[in-house]
Amino acid sequence: MSNPTLNPTQPHRVVVIGGGFGGLYAAKAFAKSKNVDVTVIDKRNFHLFQPLLYQVATGTLSPADISSPLRSILCQQQNARVLMKEVVDIDASEQVVITSESMIPYDTLIVATGVSHHYFGNDQWKTAAPGLKTVEDALEIRRKIFMAFEAAEKEADLEKRKALLTFVIVGAGPTGVELAGAIADLAYNTLKQDFRTINTRETRVLLLEGLDRVLPPFTSDLSEKARAALTRRGVTVATSTRVTHIEAHAVTIQQGETTETIPAQTILWAAGVKASSMGSVLERRAEATLDRVGRVIVEPDLSLTNYPNIFVIGDLAHFNHHDGTPLPGVAPVAMQEGEYVAQLVQARLQHRATPNFIYRNVGSLAVIGQNDAVVDLGFVRFSGFIAWFVWIVAHIYYLIEFDNKLVVMVQWAWNYFTRKRGARLITGKSIEVLETPSVSELDKSPVKV
């Protein structure tokens, strides 16, 4: 096909910022494009399979089991290169991405930098109630969870011991439900024979949710089933419950007119997300409009209104589907958006038109614990063992590298038959921390790597 815009000595330069599901699937979708050069910029050297991060935080999997080096994934794709850098700015008129050390020119820019935690204006809660987005977050939460049991084993004071064995999870979306289910399973199954002083079955796992049901994105009957399953597993579910204050080892909640402060060694945040800082960079530099949590409102083809060669995909994008609500921040949306943009760019290079992006709903899944999940495929909804099995197959399938699939299967099989979790190591902080058993002191020790 003759094409005047294609200059064989000057390939079309696509720059992708972010190697998550959106960015990676976009980059891979250019694999067979001649005359396209793809540069993936990420501050980390690996793609993280975030849907399984809670299993790192609760001691089932290792970080490497759910991570794949970006260079390894793209090493065979000759038109792709990886740069390990942090983007600090872009210049949309000059068409360059700016890092602290270099300028990277682009013809097409795909921004897929995702989201981070949102504390709804209470950023001071962050230390007391960490969230789960990175490998480091997961290892820190793992350390907190297992240190709480160790400290309880050494604590003579019964009130303090009760606080050490109280785990509060704020937010009953999929991550909150998964964390609560996994911690309950740890306490009531995995660890029940491990201690000599404490009875880990006295552990309290509290799941707090501001709305009136768990898993709000799901239908209300699935929410009910999830709530029943959580309760059966020992999780105390409190819906219509507002968190009004969090400090180190105490959370204050409001239910109707009643307020209560609950002493808890471990408080985890799974309540909200806000856009990564690239959202405001695009607002400042490319006239992007942001929504309430900083996500970029995109055109029906995922581009920016005045910059048709800049695309925003994945969790960072606010895309209005048929019904007016934005698409959820889940991996299938990001993957489809990435592939769509790659096709659109290739079509443009060949002066072909592309229809607007349409999300094909592949369903929603959330796991509650062993043998228990909820699945909504749109045309059919189910829960329990079959849902759990569907969840397992889907997650294994989408793990990128084959050794990850095998290792995760081995670990899950082992966990299934023995209820053991081999990855419950306490690592990363100095031993001074390990010597500090009192509730108030546990988080003040110096950090040593």
- Judged by CB under 8 A, which stretch of 19-27, 97-105, 107-115, 377-385 contacts a copy of itself? 97-105
Work out whether 407 is an interface residue with a copy of itself (CB under 8 A): yes
Residue in 3, 45, 122, 306 binding a copy of itself, rule: CB under 8 A: 45
- Of 158 and 431, the one with the shorter C-beta distance to a copy of itself is 431
Work out whether 123 is an interface residue with a copy of itself (CB under 8 A): no
Residue in 36, 135, 169, 387 binding a copy of itself, rule: CB under 8 A: 135
Residue in 6, 13, 63, 384 binding a copy of itself, rule: CB under 8 A: 63
Work out whether 103 is an interface residue with a copy of itself (CB under 8 A): no
What does the block give as tokens for 136?
């480091």
Work out whether 322 is an interface residue with a copy of itself (CB under 8 A): no
Query: Which positions ≥6 away from 32 have C-beta within 8 Å?
Result: none
Work out whether 136 is an interface residue with a copy of itself (CB under 8 A): yes
- Judged by CB under 8 A, which stretch of 219-227, 272-280, 374-382, 397-405 contacts a copy of itself? 397-405
The catalytic residue among 178, 209, 337, 339 is: 178
Where helices occur in 287-420 by DSSP H, the ranges are 331-349, 385-398, 402-418
Strand 266-269 to 166-170 pairing: parallel
- Of 377 and 426, the one with the shorter C-beta distance to a copy of itself is 426
Residue in 86, 212, 260, 287 binding a copy of itself, rule: CB under 8 A: 86
* SS3 of residue 260 by DSSP: strand
Question: Least distance from C-beta 429 to a copy of itself, angstroms?
Answer: 7
Work out whether 426 is an interface residue with a copy of itself (CB under 8 A): yes
- Of 138 and 163, the one with the shorter C-beta distance to a copy of itself is 138
Q: Are 109 and 102 in contact (CB under 8 A)?
A: no
Work out whether 170 is an interface residue with a copy of itself (CB under 8 A): no
Q: Is 178 designated active site? A: yes
Query: Which positions ≥6 away from 279 have C-beta within 8 Å?
Result: 288, 290, 294, 295, 296, 316
What is the C-alpha separation between 20 and 393, in angstroms, rounded? 21
What is the C-alpha separation between 304 and 311, in angstroms, rounded? 6
Where helices occur in 8-61 by DSSP H, the ranges are 21-29, 53-57
Looking at residue 210, the DSSP 8-state letter turns out to be: S
Residue in 31, 362, 390, 423 binding a copy of itself, rule: CB under 8 A: 423
Per-residue interface string for the shown chain with a copy of itself, residues 180-209, x marking contact by CB under 8 A: -----------x-xxxx-------------
Please work out, in degrees rounded to the nearest 5, the angle formed at the alpha carbon of residue 128 by the alpha carbons of 127 and 132.
70
Question: Least distance from C-beta 147 to a copy of itself, angstroms?
Answer: 9
How many residues belong to the site for a copy of itself (CB under 8 A)?
Answer: 64
- Of 336 and 404, the one with the shorter C-beta distance to a copy of itself is 404
What does the block give as tokens for 28?
């891979």
Q: What is the DSSP string of 281-311?
A: HHHHHH---B-TTSPEE--TTSB-SS-TTEE
- Of 201 and 232, the one with the shorter C-beta distance to a copy of itself is 201
Q: Are 153 and 197 in contact (CB under 8 A)?
A: yes
Residue in 33, 55, 58, 62 binding a copy of itself, rule: CB under 8 A: 62
What does the block give as tokens for 370?
């062993």
Query: Which positions ≥6 away from 169 have C-beta within 8 Å?
Result: 176, 179, 180, 183, 205, 206, 207, 208, 267, 268, 270
Work out whether 416 is an interface residue with a copy of itself (CB under 8 A): no
- 90 — phi, psi (to 5°)? -135, 155
Query: Which positions ≥6 away from 231 have C-beta within 8 Å?
Result: 237
Residue in 35, 107, 428, 443 binding a copy of itself, rule: CB under 8 A: 428
Work out whether 424 is an interface residue with a copy of itself (CB under 8 A): yes
Work out whether 266 is an interface residue with a copy of itself (CB under 8 A): no
Query: Which positions ≥6 away from 348 have C-beta within 8 Å?
Result: 354
- Of 380 and 431, the one with the shorter C-beta distance to a copy of itself is 431
Binding site for a copy of itself (CB under 8 A): 43-46, 62-65, 67-69, 71-72, 75-76, 81-86, 99-102, 135-136, 139-140, 146, 150, 153-154, 191, 193-196, 401-404, 406-407, 410-411, 414, 418, 420, 422-429, 431, 434-435, 437, 447-449
> Which residues are known to be catalytic?
178
